[in-house]
Structure 1
Amino acid sequence: MKYPSIYSAQTIILYCEKFGFKNIVISPGSRNAPLAIGFASNKNFNCYSIVDERSAGFFALGVSQQTKTPTILVCTSGSALLNYFPAVSEAYYSNIPLIVISADRPSYKVNIGDGQTIVQQGVFKNAILDSSSLALDPKHNFKEIIKSNKQKILPKKFTEKTLEAEQKKTQALNEKIINSLFTKAISESLPVHLNAPFEEPLYNFKSTPSVKINTVIKNSIKKTSNTFLSNSLLKKYSRIMILVGCSDANVLSENLKNKISQFNNIVVLKETTSNLRHDSFFGKIDQIIAPIELSTHRDKIFEKLKPELLITIGGMIISKKIKTMLRNHRPLSHIHLGKYGSKDTFYTGVKHFKVEPSYFFDKTLDVFKCNSNYKSEWENLSKLRKESHKNYLSKVKFCDLKVFSKISEIIPENYSVQVSNSSAIRYMQLFDQNPSSNFNCNRGTSGIDGSTSTAIGASIGSKSPTLLISGDLSFLYDSNGLWNSFTEKSFRIIIINNSGGGIFKILPGYLNDKIHEKFIETRHNFSAKQLAKMHGFKYIQASSSFGLKFAFLNFFKSSSRPKILEIFTDSSLSAKVLENYFLNLKKS
């Protein structure tokens, strides 16, 4: 093992060991060489080299998404750090822990014309849990430090004893900063930023550390008292809706799901990314709600469907339809369950109970019991929609809707599925999914910019084979995500290529003219074929129902290379089919 001679760099590595962090994502540079070499030469860490920092950030996010532990990001100074911002903001709004460690030049070399230098402290500002800059080690090349007329680290005149005292004080401060940031990342499951200024020389190393760090002290997490047990908010309601956003499959126990399903006054709406599976719960939310929006009696119907009490679980809600419904027809009360993610999405005010949902319902479920036909209102609609959905699909031509229906049917058991943003995740929400597979999507900021990198990171962090389902723009945008040497052979990508942002054709206000086509939809003629070849993926394509059926035959079978299946569809036809789909459901 090689330990950098810079004390603060040593300290960072030693604390990462103490905290048990395993996965380190390193982007190239010189200023971060003490950390890069120190981490890479240490067998306690799994190190991944990714050149593009934007891609590296999303890769790390994917790893943390699956492992539920912080992944370390290490970059050099300057604009390299800024490229992490999209992934950091996604992590912040999705409650995913990341630890960003940026190497920096000493403060006295910032804003004086030194190369590759920006003000790095605080760059993430509104999208970070906390950030701090370490103090520069006074003992490391103190002769260079005192040359500066701007440095405030050492007095003009000092003794060796003074130098030792300053280094000891700096070491104690840096340990406190590192310990605090690392603890916060774990306890709050959010990104933090540690900025580390290093003076040259950067490439001196030792076989054993020269600093001895103090014992790691992890801050205790405050427990929330169970005041909800006697709260008047939880008195009997005749109409209760449990709405589940992005979460893990175990967010509710099987026993509890079965128990909740017996309540006629409780409706459970679940999104694809909730990973919640139960036959009596309602998925495909838009399939139920969207046709009502087209009805002249929509307000009357929505008043019947709206809850008195709304209980939310998990992260971001994808369905714009349910958000619109609950904002226009508001519940009397809204409570959110879970350690993280309380948001007043529906304009009612929200009460946050920081307890596990299973624990909450174990203690309170019987309070909610009463006679009601609330659930049957939803069941009747859902049953009608299912029949219309099935009949319509059997008649449509090859298009996006047909393709997503087929994809949903063929996803194998126990897959980790990553879905890109925009139309891909919205189409997936219209279909039942394999109950043994887990589904994730970057819904924190809902950008298309890092889906591929996130998926490849997730494949490293997951114990299951991984499938990415992506639109063409999202895939092309993040094609650097394929630029690495550790993509799993079992990794699969399905691209639905409708030659642009097909979603914009189905949004209100779309005009079928040259301006929309060029600047909104961004029409193109690109294919993933050459990218697949360049990055060593096996490439398959399909543009018909027969071709798709043939492509699926061997797509998920074991292979010596990862695979890309690119499916070409007509965006104009797809938009028309989807529009008619909801009109057809309205008739049911």
Structure 2
Amino acid sequence: MKTTDKQGCNALVEILAKQGVKRVVLSPGSRNAPLLMAFSRSSEIESYVVVDERTAAFMALGMSQRSGEPVALVCTSGTALLNYAPAVAEAYYQHIPLIVISGDRPIEWIDQDDGQTLRQYGALSHFVKRSYDLRAEWTLPTDGWYFNRCVNDALLTALAGEAGPVHINLSITEPLTGETEAPSRPERVVMRVPSASVPDEAAMALLCDEFMSARKVLVVAAFMPPSEALNQALSRLAALPQVVVLTESLANVHDERFIPTIDRVYSVIDKSEWPDFAPDLLITLGGSLVSRMIKAFLRQHKPKAHWRISPGDRVVDTLQALTRHIEAAPAPFLDSLLRRVTPVDSSYSALWHDKQRVATRLHDDYMTRIGWCDLKAFSMILPAIPAGAALQLSNGTTVRYAQLFDTPQVSRNDCNRGVCGIDGSTSTAAGAACVGDGPTVFITGDMSFSYDANGLSSAYLSPRFKVIVMCNGGGGIFRFIKPTAGLPELERCFEVHRDIPVEKYADLFGLRYFAIDDEASAAEVLPRFFAESERPAILAVHTPHIYNAEVLRGYFRRARQ
């Protein structure tokens, strides 16, 4: 079979395929033409073509997020690479293994006022685990060996420890579209043999003693991909009377022993009770926390010891109390710990679960007393999501509303909490929907939706993709949080109130349009929306923006009402 005559491009595709890359998102260009030829003619890697590089990068992020596998990205020279930056930064802090590949001009032409000759190598250096600058043409006897070594290193680096993106910048000389027979020499693949996944016996004995000395152990799980092994370990841990497991919805773990609605429960704890709920030992898992309340509480009531369990080597001290960074995968570490620890005389678990029952009663009562608003809408939308669906959330108030409800029927919850931006949420969800067989439900605010409406231009949307837009007048979170709520610039500079024409976007991109604006329409429309099977569907949820903030503030004061 004919392919590009650039040796490096063919070698790159072969090594990626052998290292487990199954998908690549390509963006059209001239300088990357040999890469487009090599990837498109490969039978081992499925290729997706997305014109806009920013959308392409977030789609690749969603594919890797959902699949747990590395996904490659290919762009041309010039500013195309810089459009990848927001998604690559998100991937870096979400620990998503994107393989970023940029076609480039030969090095002698960089900065020479010729088209697209900016400095590409190192452009993403702050947000990738490693950068590589390679040549697509080989002239010296060692060029092929060096290229092979670097590409293998890139894949191993992307997947080692805490996974993350890498950048391969490939200089390509003209002519760009020459062809030759596919090379017969197979590329060598380097495989990594991982080291031990748990601390040694001496370290485990020390940690066990510290654990057993605590009468109040609080485990807080933030965003993580689903893991049955971790779920089982946490379930066994939560059975101990001295242990409480708080889980954010994005932690993707479920058990009746867990407390999955942190803010719902914490908001009904009286200040006089705070010392009783504060832990002796805090154990944290996963990425950044959504709950500002629990972060503030734990910073104010610092534990005697704080363990962070992570396979990465970066020290993260979000709660300003870290005493041990345990460099291990959480599931095997907890399995090892559980073989050594026993129950102690403690009422800590009972204390939290009693408060959970109070919080649930007050939550249910409050829901019956409020009118139509964001909170009421979420109380109807989330239970209506079909069992087995994957839920994608945008940042801002959307993910925070979702945290107040338990959604055990969904297969997984995801949100771009790496750097917590509102950009790229739609494209990420669209990419995630390309992977797997079940439906993907994406809930977004209107500001986030308008920021990334181009994500709906993808040719790969399917009827399994459902989009819900909360049309609540723009940046509703700024009306709720204290620093901005009272500013005279609130509406003009923060909320930026706009009526987003969701129906016109639906017509433009070929989605089936639905709308609700009260409880009656929600009850009637939601079943039809989720049942739509011929086209991707979009639902506009219209709510009153000023009343939304009043209701949410009242929710967190409901224990005092």
Q: Is the 8 A contact 1:70 1:98 kept in 2?
A: yes
Tell me how far 1:558 sits from its aligned partner.
4.5
Aligned match of 1:448? 422
Separation in structure 1 between the aligned mates of residue 232 and residue 460 of structure 2, nearest angstrom: 40
Tell me how far 1:255 sits from its aligned partner.
5.1
Q: Is the 8 A contact 1:240 1:266 kept in 2?
A: yes
Q: Report SS of the residue matched to 1:133.
A: strand
Kindly report which structure 2 residues correspond to 1:194-205, keeping only aligned pairs within 5 A, or say none: 194-205=168-179
Separation in structure 2 between the aligned mates of residue 52 and residue 467 of structure 1, nearest angstrom: 23
Aligned match of 1:162? none
Q: Is the 8 A contact 1:256 1:358 kept in 2?
A: yes
The counterpart of 1:458, out of the listed 429, 432, 437, is 432
Count of equivalent residues: 554
Separation in structure 2 between the aligned mates of residue 504 and residue 459 of structure 1, nearest angstrom: 30
Are 1:301 and 2:273 matched, yes or no? yes
Tell me how far 1:214 sits from its aligned partner.
4.0
Tell me how far 1:328 sits from its aligned partner.
0.9
Q: Give the counterpart letter for 1:581 in structure 2.
A: Y
Kindly report which structure 2 residues correspond to 1:372-387, keeping only aligned pairs within 5 A, or say none: 372-387=346-361
Separation in structure 2 between the aligned mates of residue 378 and residue 411 of structure 1, nearest angstrom: 28
Q: Give the counterpart letter for 1:196 in structure 2.
A: L
1:213–1:134 distance in 2 versus 1, CA, 3 Å: farther
The TM-score, its normalising length taken from structure 1, stands at: 0.91
Aligned match of 2:237? 260
Tell me how far 1:237 sits from its aligned partner.
1.2
Separation in structure 2 between the aligned mates of residue 250 and residue 172 of structure 1, nearest angstrom: 38
Aligned match of 1:327? 299
Aligned match of 1:351? 324
Are 1:272 and 2:249 matched, yes or no? yes
Q: Give the counterpart letter for 2:14 in structure 1.
A: L
Q: Report SS of the residue matched to 1:470.
A: strand
Aligned match of 2:87? 87
The TM-score, its normalising length taken from structure 2, stands at: 0.95
Identify the range of structure 1 (433-442 vs 50-59) with the bigger mean alpha-carbon deviation: 433-442
Runs of at least 5 residues in structure 1 that lack an aligned partner in the other structure? 140-165
Q: Give the counterpart letter for 2:101 in structure 1.
A: I
Separation in structure 2 between the aligned mates of residue 363 and residue 138 of structure 1, nearest angstrom: 50
Tell me how far 1:301 sits from its aligned partner.
2.1
Tell me how far 1:229 sits from its aligned partner.
1.9
Q: Give the counterpart letter for 2:194 in structure 1.
A: I
| 1:220-251 Cα distance to aligned partner (Å, 9 max, x none) | 33325434321143343100011111123335
Q: Is the 8 A contact 2:9 2:136 kept in 1?
A: no
Aligned match of 2:114? 114
Separation in structure 1 between the aligned mates of residue 315 and residue 504 of structure 2, nearest angstrom: 44
| 1:104-139 Cα distance to aligned partner (Å, 9 max, x none) | 000000011110121011111211100110036354
Q: Is the 8 A contact 1:472 1:500 kept in 2?
A: yes
Kindly report which structure 2 residues correspond to 1:276-291, keeping only aligned pairs within 5 A, or say none: 276-291=253-268
Query: Runs of 4 or more off by more than 6 Å in structure 1?
Result: none
Are 1:371 and 2:371 matched, yes or no? no
Q: Report SS of the residue matched to 1:134.
A: strand
1:288–1:254 distance in 2 versus 1, CA, 3 Å: closer
Q: Give the counterpart letter for 1:183 in structure 2.
A: L
Q: Report SS of the residue matched to 2:388.
A: coil
Separation in structure 2 between the aligned mates of residue 138 and residue 448 of structure 1, nearest angstrom: 43
Are 1:411 and 2:402 matched, yes or no? no
The counterpart of 2:227, out of the listed 240, 246, 250, is 250
Are 1:310 and 2:293 matched, yes or no? no
Aligned match of 1:221? 194
Identity of aligned residues (%): 34
1:267–1:36 distance in 2 versus 1, CA, 3 Å: same
Structure of greater Rg: 1
| 1:483-508 Cα distance to aligned partner (Å, 9 max, x none) | 12111111101111102101110000
1:344–1:535 distance in 2 versus 1, CA, 3 Å: same
Aligned match of 1:71? 71
Q: Is the 8 A contact 1:32 1:76 kept in 2?
A: yes
1:487–1:243 distance in 2 versus 1, CA, 3 Å: same
Separation in structure 2 between the aligned mates of residue 240 and residue 175 of structure 1, nearest angstrom: 48
Aligned match of 2:41? 41
Q: Is the 8 A contact 2:15 2:188 kept in 1?
A: no
The CA RMSD measured in Å over matched residues stands at 1.8
Are 1:230 and 2:205 matched, yes or no? yes
Runs of at least 5 residues in structure 2 that lack an aligned partner in the other structure? none
Q: Is the 8 A contact 1:251 1:357 kept in 2?
A: no
Separation in structure 2 between the aligned mates of residue 129 and residue 410 of structure 1, nearest angstrom: 40
Separation in structure 2 between the aligned mates of residue 374 and residue 513 of structure 1, nearest angstrom: 41
Tell me how far 1:208 sits from its aligned partner.
1.7
Q: Report SS of the residue matched to 1:394.
A: helix
Are 1:555 and 2:544 matched, yes or no? no
Separation in structure 2 between the aligned mates of residue 253 and residue 74 of structure 1, nearest angstrom: 34
Identify the range of structure 1 (186-195 vs 105-114) with the bigger mean alpha-carbon deviation: 186-195
Q: Is the 8 A contact 2:61 2:87 kept in 1?
A: yes
Q: Report SS of the residue matched to 1:278.
A: coil
Separation in structure 1 between the aligned mates of residue 11 and residue 227 of structure 2, nearest angstrom: 37
Separation in structure 2 between the aligned mates of residue 356 and residue 125 of structure 1, nearest angstrom: 26
1:97–1:214 distance in 2 versus 1, CA, 3 Å: same
1:446–1:107 distance in 2 versus 1, CA, 3 Å: same
Are 1:17 and 2:21 matched, yes or no? no
Q: Is the 8 A contact 1:323 1:346 kept in 2?
A: yes
